[in-house]
Chain A
Amino acid sequence: GAVVSQHPSWVICKSGTSVKIECRSLDFQATTMFWYRQFPKQSLMLMATSNEGSKATYEQGVEKDKFLINHASLTLSTLTVTSAHPEDSSFYICSAPARGRAALYEQYFGPGTRLTVT
């Protein structure tokens, strides 16, 4: 099946600094990628849809100036958490749709990035 990687897998940063998370589709091209956030014991929350060559679409309540998304190529989307604060500490996961057993609707997920802001 298709593979999506994320880097880094975990990061600890100081409050006020910015952190960049990369999401790569390794063996397929993805014009669309999705960024999710998961809080402990809660469901995955869609943050934004990353579109190659155009602006990302943010979900209601997600600050676009705080969570900067860039989808500069067909295999790479980046999420930058700017001026991070402890409340931004979470597990961030990206996904990309690709052909699979479920064809049209199957999504492949990255392994996630654990962000801890101190």
Chain B
Amino acid sequence: DQQVKQNSPSLSVQEGRISILNCDYTNSMFDYFLWYKKYPAEGPTFLISISSIKDKNEDGRFTVFLNKSAKHLSLHIVPSQPGDSAVYFCAASSDSNYQLIWGAGTKLIIKP
């Protein structure tokens, strides 16, 4: 049973345009959501997070939106840059022991 789903395995976006990565979850107990970026043969790096008490969090070019009623969150990257090409993982947590439940990842390709 996948509690965190990223239904798009890949996404291709033109440089300079907006990239929108989506994530759905099923567990209503999740109270913290995170996005990680991962390059091949490297560990994931933290990108941005959002608490369930908020519906938006912004950090530079990255904005995460949370729709609790729809159990959906999205990561917006604008403008997209070639260095943004990577696999993006959505993760969720529901307790204080820092365990993360991961989505399958979306490979973002930024075209020049």
Contacts and interface: CB of A to CB of B under 8 A. Distances in A.
Chain B associates with chain A: yes
A54 interface: no
A64 interface: no
State the main secondary structure of chain B at its contact with A: loop
A42 B107 CA distance: 11
A2 B105 CA distance: 24
A104 B96 contact: yes
Contacts of A45: 102
B44 interface: yes
B46 A32 contact: no
B46 A100 contact: yes
B99 A114 contact: no
Contacts of A44: 44, 89, 102
A97 B45 CA distance: 13
Contacts of A110: 43
B43 A109 contact: yes
Contacts of A93: 43-44
Sort chain A's interface into a size bin.
Answer: 20 to 34
State the main secondary structure of chain A at its contact with B: strand
A43 B94 CA distance: 19
* Interface-central residue, A42, A100, A102, by most chain B CB under 10 Å: A102
Contact of A34 (B41, B89, B98): B98
A6 B104 CA distance: 23
Nearest to B90: A43
Contacts of A46: 99-100, 102
Interface string A35-53: 0000001111110010000
Interface of A: 4, 6, 32, 34, 41-46, 49, 91, 93, 95, 97, 100-102, 104-112, 114
Given A106-B49, A109-B43, 15 more contacts: A4-B43, A32-B97, A43-B89, A43-B102, A43-B105, A44-B44, A45-B102, A49-B99, A101-B46, A101-B59, A102-B46, A104-B96, A105-B34, A111-B43, A112-B41
